[in-house]
């Protein structure tokens, strides 16, 4: 990518901006921070990032300890190119962003409420983190492939 070009801005939106959106933000930054500016926000932010989301990301080498739980309104006029919602409530509450060209909805279970029999809460976070990782790394790889110069 030409260093004078600005990177597309991707906003990952969830209701509380405490779990799924932060895991997706960290994973997408790790996979494609050279391609995108990545942010996350909530339609009704909880004001903190869930400690188990931070722990689950830390286990795969991403430090989210400095992430903050932000309201989506702070991004309305920031030139967001793509909005990706990761929960149904956020998808329904998502406003139209000025100039926004793309919007995706990839829903994931809410980790604090997703425990299966015999699974700890951290295990639920890990399972959903791995699902998010699969989807967002595929998105990054597809975008990267689509933006490569055609070979002759």
State how far the alpha carbon of 16 is from the alpha carbons of 65, 97, 146, in Å: 17, 19, 32
Q: Which of 80, 94, 124, 128 is catalytic?
A: 94
Three-state secondary structure string covering 92-119: HHCCCCCCCCEEEECCCCCHHHCCCCCC
The CB-side HSE value for 11 (13 A sphere, CA atoms) comes to 31
19 catalytically annotated: no
- Listed residue (81, 135, 147, 148) closest to 109, CA to CA: 135
How many residues are listed for the chain in this entry? Answer: 152
Q: Which of 10, 11, 14, 128 is catalytic?
A: 14
Contact 36, 10 (CB under 8 A): yes
94 catalytically annotated: yes
Q: Which of 52, 80, 87, 132 is catalytic?
A: 87
Catalytic residues: 14, 87, 94
């Amino acid at each position: 990518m030409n260093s004078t070009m600005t990177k597309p801005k991707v906003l990952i939106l969830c209701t509380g901006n405490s779990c799924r959106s932060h895991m997706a933000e960290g994973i997408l930054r790790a996979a494609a921070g050279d391609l995108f500016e990545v942010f996350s926000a909530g339609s009704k932010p909880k004001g903190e990032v869930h400690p188990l989301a931070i722990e689950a990301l830390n286990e795969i080498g991403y430090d989210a300890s400095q992430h903050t739980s932000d309201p989506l309104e702070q991004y309305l006029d920031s030139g967001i190119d793509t909005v990706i919602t990761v929960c149904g409530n956020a998808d329904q509450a998502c406003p139209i962003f000025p100039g926004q060209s793309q919007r995706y909805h990839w829903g994931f279970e809410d980790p604090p409420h997703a425990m299966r029999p015999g699974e700890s809460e951290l295990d639920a976070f890990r399972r959903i983190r791995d699902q998010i990782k699969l989807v967002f790394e595929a998105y990054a790889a597809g975008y990267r492939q689509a933006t490569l110069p055609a070979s002759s």
